[in-house]
Amino acid sequence: MRTLPHFINGEEVNLSDEKHAQIFCPNTGTVQAQVPLGTHATLESAVAAAREAQMAWAATNPQRRARVMFNFKALVEANKDRLAKLLSSEHGKVFSDAQGDIQRGLEVIEFACGIPHALKGEYTEGAGPGIDVYSMRQPLGVVAGITPFNFPAMIPMWMFGVAIACGNAFILKPSERDPSVPVELAKLMIEAGLPPGLLNVVHGDKEIVGCILDHPDIKAVSFVGSSDIAHAVYERGARAGKRVQAMGGAKNHGIIMPDADLNQVVKDLVGAAFGSAGERCMALPVVVPVGEDTANALREKLIAAMKQIVVAPSDDPKADYGPVVTAQHKARISHYIDLAIKEGAELVYDGSKHTIPGNTDGYFIGPTFFDKVTASMQSYQEEIFGPVLQMVRANSFNEALQLASEHQYGNGVAIYTRNGHAAREFARRVNVGMVGINVPIPVPVAYHTFGGWKRSSFGDTNQHGMEGVKFWTKVKTITQRWPDGTDNDNNAFDIPTMG
């Protein structure tokens, strides 16, 4: 059986004394590989390599660091099909969606290629008599990222691309469910010219996560996962004196106004709710039509569209989406479907018993649609993270706005309307971090910033864009004077002023 290695100091590392976890094929339910579960000793070797390499990298001028990013981008593009096939085999995404996962990560790498400009500081000439003030951004040192299963290429690149371009050394702990692509990305970084030790990949479970959060030489941690774990990561890392950004769960709403183009809504909503089997933090699992006429018309169009969705193995070119990632996750989604039925939601379209001939042990769930969902239901309040769409009917714009604003999660939201005033008011007033106007999945472009509100994000700095640069650097401000020896009037015991 294939055993996935750690990647430390530019080399594959297999340690015989570590425990291992199984990597399953979501299409068949069979074991396809195993991954080591690292220990404190594993992390120590990665930190030592990172610490050794980081100072010279920080002293490397930004344009040379950017050239490595340019080279890496070209190598990932050249290997994109191979990486997407590998990603699909472990995660269960269809091939085109796996390619999109890689492409969205590459867009942040493109941003990192411009790091010389992003690291420029500020300068004030003549802030006082003969005094100039300037600032510089410097790397933190050794930093780390803990990434989830649902985007095994994109989210690691979101993190390590900007962090390494800023001059840091990076330790990546990917999900143990689909860890092969992160290792391949680390190898391509070395091929691109990154010195060994600057990007290390260590595998593991909660034990190594705890080691990362407690390690005194790791100065910052970025995390993406469920909200409860994100909160715990934030608290533990902060207690250890680290800078922490911890992105949590989501329950994104799509508000459908009576004037919306329902054909466009249905086309967008089917992809946003069921694409990647709903395993996206920016999926759209809640639709809120305003008015009974809007709800009834949308319901009928959605049923017709859902009948056309093809659920099949991820390597089937006809598949719209494939299996979910593990048997445990399939069971979790099924639990929420049963819970919604018990709570009184109307099951309009049931995909929970979907099977694939010849793949009966695969982790497949067909598209599932509930109507008459209310805000008091637990299945509405919590994140399902699967191909389940819930309709919550609203009587007015303000009621729809309130639903999205008062939900415990505040990651993303969308509104569909032809009314510019309604869209503007919604964007201004809604208590959510990322807003789409006639856009179903409002993930910002790489040079803007990604981050939600409320229980969707812990910490005060978002991912990528200039917020990412700020997170992975610290600011140093210099006040300088070059006296000519003629000024003897200053009283050295007074507080300095610029008057």
| Encoded tokens for 328 | 């445990």
Q: Is 280 helix (H, G, I), strand (E, B) or coil?
A: coil
Residue pair 490/128 in contact by the 8 Å Cβ criterion: no
The helix (run of H) or strand (run of E) holding residue 54 is: helix 40-58
Residue pair 223/244 in contact by the 8 Å Cβ criterion: yes
| Encoded tokens for 42 | 């594993």
From CA 199, how far away is CA 170, in angstroms rounded?
5
Cβ neighbours for 98, distance < 8 A, ≥ 6 positions apart: 83, 84, 85, 87, 88, 91, 153, 314
> What backbone torsions phi and psi does residue 477 show, to the nearest 5 degrees?
-115, 130
From CA 232, how far away is CA 162, in angstroms rounded?
25
From CA 284, how far away is CA 247, in angstroms rounded?
17
Q: Is 356 helix (H, G, I), strand (E, B) or coil?
A: coil
Catalytic, out of 25, 113, 211, 281: 281
Which of 167, 172, 179, 141 is closest to 157 using CA atoms?
A: 172
CA end-to-end distance (rounded Å), the chain: 73
- Residue count (the chain): 499
Residue pair 345/239 in contact by the 8 Å Cβ criterion: no
> What backbone torsions phi and psi does residue 129 show, to the nearest 5 degrees?
-60, 105
From CA 299, how far away is CA 266, in angstroms rounded?
9
| Encoded tokens for 93 | 């995404």
Tokens 């039509």 found at: 289
Cβ neighbours for 203, distance < 8 A, ≥ 6 positions apart: 4, 6, 35, 36, 37, 38, 173, 174, 176, 179
- Ramachandran category for residue 129: left, alpha or beta (phi over 0 → left; psi -120 to 50 → alpha): beta
Nearest-5° Cα angle at 282, 242 to 433: 60
Which of 423, 377, 429, 376 is closest to 401 using CA atoms?
A: 429
- Quote the distance between the C-alpha of residue 347 and its chain's center: 31
From CA 386, how far away is CA 280, in angstroms rounded?
8
166: annotated active-site residue:
no
Q: What share of the chain is helix, strand, coil (3-state, %, to 5)?
A: 40, 20, 40
The residues assigned a catalytic role are 281
